[in-house]
Amino acid sequence: MKKENIYSSKNIFLLTFIFIIIFWLLYSLGSFLHEAKKIHDEIAAIREHNKKNLLEIEKKKQYLEYLKTPQRIEKEAKIQMGKKRPKEKSLFFIKEKLDILPTTKLTKNNTPKKDVAIIEKWKYLFFSK
């Protein structure tokens, strides 16, 4: 019997080919798993977004039901038209409007100071918070 040389070109070529095939299979498996993970994460994000949208839809349905109630319609009519039933009292809350430019300047103890210079008014208009 004749012994074959382990390092023959035929064996080296065959081992190289097998190594390339195994490496390609592992790479394909890894890329497949990576894509599957990305798809799974995207599906989870979409499901979470859908849950938020469903909650928002439910809130809007409840608000729509509230808008259809006679109590809300009567309340809006009272507010917009100023109407009220006989022997019914109404309270109106009026918010004070703030001037665009201050006519008085506050000192350290928050007491108003009269006679604000025009430059101070311009500074307040353009540089105030």
Cα 2 from Cα 36, distance rounded (Å): 52
User: Which ranges of the chain does DSSP label H, i.e. alpha helix?
Assistant: 9-68, 70-81, 118-127
Same domain? 65 vs 47: yes
pLDDT at residue 18 tops 90: yes
Considering the domain architecture, whether residues 79 and 115 belong to the same structural domain is answered as no
Do both 110 and 87 map to the same domain? Answer: no
**Domain range enclosing 102:** 95-129
**pTM of the predicted model as reported, rounded to 2 decimal places:** 0.43
Strand spans (E) along 28-111: 105-106
Q: Based on the domain organization, do 17 and 59 belong to the same domain?
A: yes
Instruction: Report the pLDDT value the prediction gives residue 92, as an integer from 0 to 100.
Output: 67
Question: Mind listing the pLDDT tens digit for each residue in 103-128?
Answer: 555 555 544 456 677 787 777 777 77
Q: What percent of the chain has pLDDT over 70?
A: 71
The count of structural domains within the chain is 2
| Tokens linked to 17 | 């080919």
Query: Residue written as tokens 């507010």?
Result: 79
Looking at the structure, do residues 99 and 82 belong to the same domain, yes or no?
A: no
Q: Which two tokens stand for residue 91?
A: 């309270």
